[in-house]
Chains A and B, each alone.
Chain A
Amino acid sequence: MIFANKFFLTLLPVVLILYFLLRTRAQKYNVLLLASWAFYTWLSPWYLWVLLLLTVIDYTAAVRIEDATNPRARKRWLVVSIVANLGLLVAFKYTPFVYDNALELGRWCGLAVTERHWNILLPLGISFHTFQGISYTVDVYRRQIAAVRSFRDYAFFVAFFPQLAAGPIVRAVEFLPEMVTPPTPSAQQVAEGLHLFLIGLFKKLVIADQLDVLFVSPVFANPGAFDAAAHRWAAVAWAAQIYCDFSGYSDMAVGIAKWFGFELPRNFDLPYLAANITDFWRRWHVSLSAWLRDYLYFPLGGSRRGAARTYLNLMVLFVLCGLWHGATWAWLAYGVYNGLLMCGHRAFDRVATGRGFWDALRASRGWAAFAWALTLSQLVAMLILVRMNSWADGWLMLKSFALFDVWGLWSPRVPVWVPLLVALVALGHLCGKLKLTAPAPLRAAAQVGAVVALVAFTPGVTKTFIYVQF
């Protein structure tokens, strides 16, 4: 696991000490940049060149865009940047998928084709740093920010190691102003960083990894061997696992950045409390949703070109969002499903808003509870799509989940820890919703409890972050 291994746990204190000991801005950022590249090389030794190449291209393109005097030259350099980023992303991520489907099509047409015997190892974090690069050159093109003239500064913005592997997708417009003078972390940032780092580790190692090993993987690997109640719990546990896995990484990234005095955007906002699908995408992987909105949905016209075009834009947005997560039909289906839900919710919202009965109903607590339950069940159901091993397995689990009855939650096959770990996730959401903050001693005791749990109860090799693989 990226943040719980000897290399990282040695690198981090060394870099922190050097960062605070060194005097000048250049020295500090040189150390951070070299550490970030070393970290990347350690994690993805074959692909540092991809990161460096895109850094050079985007840096050059942004400077040329700013320096260009005619609009065509500006646009040309923007296209260079976008094509380079998306080209490499597509080449690495989607080539096997396209190839396999071309083979399938060929087979369907009666051609003699052979199976693919090769694979492409995905460069670490390519889905994230390419989006960061695009947002930077687009912002320069839109004259929202000035191009960075120091290559080191730009390279550091792209490669800053806490968020390099799996986000959050940081915008230049947010991060570059923080870089003007090397920030010194306040005592509050140090404390918050510690809290976030421990919470993130706890979510990843104690909740996500344990749910996976104890229950989620065995059930999804062979759902036929389990009963309907186990399927229901596995679906819910998988939803808890993927949330804790990804938000755990984001928490750790944000926490580590705070120790250097940087503020990264929070990526999650209690997503399973969403009252509708639109609300969910404002709470889940916030930096990706915002990126897609600003650099895809709005340029496509957003909701300004009539209802039909708006629905089309939403579908395009979510199909691409699904494919961003993974080059499989299941992820495509996930995108389509989300797009349809988004369109359905938008249509319902437009029909119901402004009508007395509906407005009153939607303002009621009963409706809020109903909407939350409906949204959550939709979310859990669609997450089955992306974990299933085959469509038949997915269908079996979806059937079990859809035919829900309150008595069908008990199964001897469900380890007692599964409901307890899921309950911890629910408790975390509840505390967040009620904005409960513990007094400092209680908070410190909880943090120490988390450390004890991490050291004592998470033995062995941990699993890689799910979103790192996207």
Chain B
Amino acid sequence: MTPTATTPAALPRAHPARRAVRRRARFVSRNRAALLFVAFLVIADLGIGALAPVWDRHSPDDYAARVTGCAALPRDLVFVGGSPVTEGIDPGQIAGANWRSAPLADAYAVGLHGGTATDFYYAAKRACPTAPRVIVYGATASDLNDSRSEPHGTRTLLDRADVREIARTRPETAEWVTRHYTESKIGRASNLYRYRHGLRMWAAVQADALIPGACPEALAQAREQRDHADDLATRGTGYAPLKGYARVRYDHMKAAGHVPPPFGFLNNYRTGSHSKYVDALAEWCRARGTALVLLDMPVTADLEARYPREFAEYRARLAGLARAHNLPLIRGADAGLTDADFADLIHMTPDGCATFSRWLRGKLEDAGRAP
């Protein structure tokens, strides 16, 4: 076959296009190993991205699951807060309570383990695309500790505008938030990096199927995560107690001589910065016609006894916020819970949660009756 004028072979020897083709060919030939590596890496990354649901199933994001779960339906009543809310409030038991003479038909708890008041504000914004009638912020002392900055919320809940807002509102954490946000975005550029935990959990399950007992710890973690995610999705209220908290009771542990370690979340306790986001939450609720209720979540007497100064500062701050925004403040300590209702210093057992939720239902109805 005679080469046509458009093919490189047909071009004159000195033609620049032909030289360019040759240069490219030489470059590819010389750098074949590195190019193959890059190509295979991209293919592997795309392959992992294509199987994202598999990895997500094996490594569910608890924050994202709760926020999207809440946002899926319009809710009458939404609870926000940290792990004490996750483990201590069962919205299923509170739904139906009357508020301003009308029942709160649907309730959901957006409890974020390890979160701060800043996280809860952004979680509420994301979780409530339709304004609920009531939002209850189940607060605890560690939520307002300005020494704490937890990365999960920054990585899961924020967008660029939020980061800018935090940099303005809490300038002392601007660098930290920007760094974590940027890292999370860069991390998402690679599917391999993004889904690495899901890959590990999936591999643990597969390895155990192949060789039973091959990686017991990873398998236990994978199973617990999967069961918890299934439980959360099935119940549909945001309440899915961790199995660990169902197995133990704080009074039993004390009787056995167990002394809990120091509660690090209250270290270097100071308030004033995170609490700006309680202000923001109050304003956000007011603008949407949502009633905001502050709930001082109960903790064990031992925790309060260990950190009296911290709890005094927290209570003063919470009372100040309630006064400033004219919000009802419910004191969870009045529920009369004992050590038997807790699994550790701060998290309730499922039985404790049921007791507290029943009590809270009544208190909410009282608050809803108030003028």
Contact = CB atoms under 8 A, between A and B. Distances in A.
A459 B34 contact: no
A194 B211 contact: no
Nearest to B39: A444
A130 B200 CA distance: 43
B200 A190 contact: no
Given A456-B192, A456-B199, A191 B40 contact: no
Contacts of B211: 416
B72 interface: no
B192 A455 contact: yes
B193 interface: yes
A194 B193 contact: no
Contact of B41 (A416, A441, A448): A448
Contacts of A443: 33, 36
A417 B214 CA distance: 7
Interface in B209-256: 211, 213-215
A191 B203 contact: no
Question: Looking at B31, B40, B197, B213, which has the most chain A CB atoms within 10 Å of its CB?
Answer: B40
Interface string B31-52: 1111011011100100000000
Given A416-B211, A416-B214, A417-B214, A452 B33 contact: no
B30 interface: yes
Given A417-B215, A451-B41, A451-B192, A457 B32 contact: no
B309 interface: no
B306 interface: no
Contact of B33 (A440, A455, A456): A440
Nearest to B190: A455
A452 B44 CA distance: 9
Contacts, number: 58
A444 B33 contact: yes
Nearest to A198: B37
A9 to B, nearest CB: 12
Nearest to B212: A416
Contacts of A441: 36, 40
A434 interface: no
A447 B192 contact: no
Contacts of B323: none
A187 interface: yes
B37 A190 contact: no
B32 A440 contact: yes
B203 A457 contact: yes
B100 interface: no
A436 interface: no
- The binding surface of chain A is classed by DSSP as helix
Nearest to B200: A456
Given A194-B34, A416-B211, A440-B32, A455 B193 contact: yes
Given A187-B34, A190-B31, A445 B40 contact: yes
Nearest to B194: A455
A443 B32 CA distance: 11
A412 to B, nearest CB: 9
B164 to A, nearest CB: 24
B192 to A, nearest CB: 5
B272 to A, nearest CB: 31
A440 B40 CA distance: 11
B196 interface: yes
A415 B207 CA distance: 13
A448 B196 contact: no
Contacts of A445: 40
B97 to A, nearest CB: 44
Interface string A409-448: 0000001110000000000000000000000110111011
A444 B44 CA distance: 11
Given A416-B211, A455-B193, A190 B34 contact: yes
A195 B32 CA distance: 13
Contacts of B203: 456-457
Interface in A389-425: 415-417
Contact of A444 (B30, B40, B215): B40
A223 B31 CA distance: 51
Contacts of A187: 30-31, 33-34
Contacts of B36: 440-441, 443-444
Contacts of A459: 196-197, 200
A191 B192 contact: no
A210 to B, nearest CB: 11
Nearest to B214: A416
Interface in B183-203: 192-193, 196-197, 199-200, 203
B200 A447 contact: no
Interface string A256-274: 0000000000000000000
Contacts of A452: 44, 192, 199
A416 B213 CA distance: 8
Contacts of B39: 444
Interface in A184-220: 187, 190-191, 194-195
Nearest to A192: B33
B200 A457 contact: yes
Contacts of B31: 187, 190-191
A456 B33 CA distance: 24
Contacts of A194: 33-34, 37
B196 A456 contact: yes
Contacts of A455: 192-193, 196
Interface in A364-394: none
Interface string A452-470: 1001110100000000000
Interface in B8-59: 30-34, 36-37, 39-41, 44
B44 A448 contact: yes
A189 to B, nearest CB: 11
- The CB with the most chain A CB atoms within 10 A, among B30, B37, B39, B213, is that of B37
Contacts of B44: 448, 451-452
Given A441-B36, A452-B192, 6 more contacts: A187-B33, A187-B34, A191-B37, A452-B44, A455-B196, A457-B203
The 5 closest A-B pairs by CB, nearest first: A191-B33, A444-B36, A187-B30, A456-B199, A448-B40
Interface of A: 187, 190-191, 194-195, 415-417, 440-441, 443-445, 447-448, 451-452, 455-457, 459
Interface of B: 30-34, 36-37, 39-41, 44, 192-193, 196-197, 199-200, 203, 211, 213-215
12 contacts: A191-B34, A416-B211, A417-B215, A445-B40, A447-B37, A448-B40, A451-B41, A451-B192, A452-B192, A455-B196, A456-B199, A456-B203
